[in-house]
Every structure is written in C-alpha cells, then in structure tokens.
Amino acid sequence: MRPTVEVSVPPAESARTTTRHRVVVRAVAAAFLVLLSLVAGCATPSDAGPAQNESMPSASAPAVVTPSGEVGAGWSSAPGSPPARLEIGAIGVDSDVMGLGLRPDGSMEVPAGGFPAGWYTGSPVPGQLGPSIVAGHVDWGGSPGVFYRLRDLELGDDVTVVSQDGSTVRFVVSAVEQYPKDAFPTDKVYGDIDHPGLRLITCGGQFDSDISSYDDNIVVYADRV
C-alpha cells in the first residue's frame, strides 16, 4: 500500500442481490485498505495528531445473500440494530462503537482518536449474514488505542456486540492473522460468507518511522455463536 494511492468509490447503497453486494463490498474494500494503510491504528506512536472525521450516523444494513443466492440456513435475514458497544473480555476492551461511512472524496471515515472502535455502516449489522467490519487504532498519540491488544486474541475467545436496541450478539474468535499491507487478502476479509461473521482490523508488525506507518494489518475473524 505504499506509496499512498487515491481511490474514488461511489456512495454505498443497499445491496439486494449477491452481485450488487459484491460490487459494493469490494469497492468499499479498496477504499478501506487505503484507509488502514494510512490511519487505522497507524498513528505515529509519539506525535500523532487528531484526524479529521465527519462521521455519518449508523444505519441498518439490509440482508446479505450468499453466493448461491440463498440466505444461510438457520440465520435471520431481517435487518438488525446497529452496534453500540464492543466487549472483548480477553483483552480488556469495553468500547463504544461509532458509525463509519464514506467521505465525499470516497475515502473511508475513521475514528478521530484512539477510541472508540468504528463499524463500517456499509457492511452487515453484526449478527446478520455476512462479514461485519469493525476497525480501530492500535495506538494514538503515544498511548494504546482500542485495539492495542487485538493481536493477543486466541481461538475461542468471546467477542460481544451490544446493539443500540439493547440486544447482544456473541461471536467466537476463529482465527487471528497478520498480513503485510501490500499483500492484504481482500477477498478473504471482505468476501461473501454463508454465516454471520465479524472482522476486527487494526495495524501491526514493525513501525516504519520513515513513513509513520506500521508494515502489517492484524485481522481477527470471528463467527456468531
């Protein structure tokens, strides 16, 4: 993801078919990867300043269908309530969740500081069919960010999302992966899945002081219980 590139992504719209969903998710993924390589958890450890952020309000996401066009067996297809809090006991995370949309230039919005975590409102509501995307900073201004210990999660750890309507959705970690930013597996992270999933993303690896960025991304995969 170096040098920095600019991308333009049209506004996200409700996906009513598998094809349309893929177009939206992959277009957004391109913008999101640029975002992550620049600012999602990649602030300079000692002197990072606040990032500009004009966050759009959270919005319910419509049902997402599987590649076959069928809703995954046993899973609800009705829109759920957007996330309000994220709780990960194993690493001490108990954070509000803000909504992240797209800026006018097509780039992703990001949290304005180390806290809170941010849910991309163009991805499925956590607990609904498909991969819900939550990003957070690993550090900010020399202090740990909301996902500072994300890399320490292990298989079987619980992740709980508290929705705005007060309901909770529980996920269990199925994998913790680290990828070089120039080899990020877009399809694996953002592609269609046949069950409700969660993707927690931050930066990791070595910090490159020359470009004020980390070399890698940490991605935690979790599945709804």
| CATH number of the structural domain spanning residue 58 | 2.40.260.10
> Is residue 7, in this structure, part of any structural domain at all?
no
> Is residue 4, in this structure, part of any structural domain at all?
no
- The structure's pTM equals 0.73
* Domain tally, the chain: 1
> Is residue 183, in this structure, part of any structural domain at all?
yes
pLDDT in tens, the chain (225 residues): 332 223 233 333 333 344 444 544 454 454 444 444 434 445 444 443 333 333 222 222 223 333 333 445 555 545 689 999 999 999 999 999 999 998 888 666 888 899 999 999 999 999 999 999 999 999 999 999 999 999 999 999 999 999 999 999 999 999 999 999 999 998 999 999 999 999 999 999 999 999 888 999 999 999 999
- For residue 23, the enclosing domain spans 18-69+81-224
CA distance 177 to 181: 12
> Is residue 10, in this structure, part of any structural domain at all?
no
Length of the chain counted residue by residue: 225
> Is residue 13, in this structure, part of any structural domain at all?
no
